[in-house]
């Protein structure tokens, strides 16, 4: 009897400890962010409520990483932490005072997802759909593809910004004859400094202010 993808990831999911899953997820998330040209920073000491910081445009965004298993056509992201006390396991949700977003890794698909806390509020879990619901429900669904790193973070990466600058220079060069720009001379015989587009901005209230903003 054969084993399908869901069975394979289920056995893989059961083989790893919680700490191992967390390490795998963090490694995949850092790798995916860096490939987009996003700067990633990690705390020196462990035990905080966020695992890392993404530099997105002019904002520093506190990110909590999550291992997100696939359950059929749904990716499940748990939005709480657990610790054991004398009464058993204690669940604790994350607040806006502690983090700005979740970054989830689904090992079955080898994909990472970026989930802003302000979008999902105080939920204990987020479900990302890979296929339509069997009851044809459409309202209120969160499609996994809409939250993939490329869809949510691609425009903030250095690679995307470099592409915008190159495109902007090409447009200027193509629309104006050489030497016809109105920029002031640099004083060294050049044509002056070229302006670059401002980085894309996150929604108001996102992230931690940088040192320059403080």
pLDDT tens digit string along 64-104? 999 999 999 999 999 999 887 778 788 999 999 999 999 99
| pLDDT of amino acid 139 | 79
CA angle 189, 194, 196 (to 5 degrees): 165
* pTM listed for this prediction: 0.70
Give me the percent of the chain exceeding a pLDDT of 70: 68
| Sign of the Cα pseudo-torsion (159, 161, 164, 166, in order) | negative
Coil vs helix vs strand at 182: coil
Q: What is the mean pLDDT of residues 158-181?
A: 53
Return the CA Rg of the chain.
22
| pLDDT higher than 50, residue 210 | no
In this model, does residue 193 exceed pLDDT 50? no
d(C-alpha 213, C-alpha 96), whole Å: 20
* Dihedral sign, Cα of residue 158, residue 163, residue 168, residue 172: positive
**Residue 154 carries which DSSP code?**
G
Pick from 123-132, 160-169, 194-203: least confident:
194-203
């Amino acid at each position: 009897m054969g084993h399908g993808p869901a069975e394979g990831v289920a056995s893989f999911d059961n083989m790893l400890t919680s700490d191992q899953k967390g390490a795998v997820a963090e490694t995949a998330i850092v790798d995916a962010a860096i490939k987009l040209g996003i700067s990633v920073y990690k705390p020196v000491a462990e035990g905080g409520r966020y695992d890392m910081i993404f530099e997105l445009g002019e904002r520093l965004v506190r990110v909590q990483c999550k291992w997100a298993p696939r359950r059929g056509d749904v990716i499940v992201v748990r939005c709480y932490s657990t610790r054991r006390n004398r009464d058993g396991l204690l669940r604790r949700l994350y607040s806006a005072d502690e983090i700005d977003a979740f970054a989830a890794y689904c090992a079955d698909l080898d994909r990472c997802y970026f989930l802003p806390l302000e979008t999902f509020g105080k939920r204990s879990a987020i479900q990302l759909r890979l296929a339509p619901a069997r009851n044809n429900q459409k309202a209120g669904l969160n499609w996994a593809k809409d939250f993939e790193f490329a869809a949510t973070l691609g425009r903030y990466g250095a690679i995307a910004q470099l592409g915008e600058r190159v495109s902007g220079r090409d447009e200027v060069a193509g629309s104006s004859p050489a030497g016809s720009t109105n920029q002031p001379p640099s004083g060294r015989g050049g044509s002056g400094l070229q302006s670059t587009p401002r980085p894309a901005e996150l929604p108001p209230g996102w992230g931690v202010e940088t040192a320059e903003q403080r």
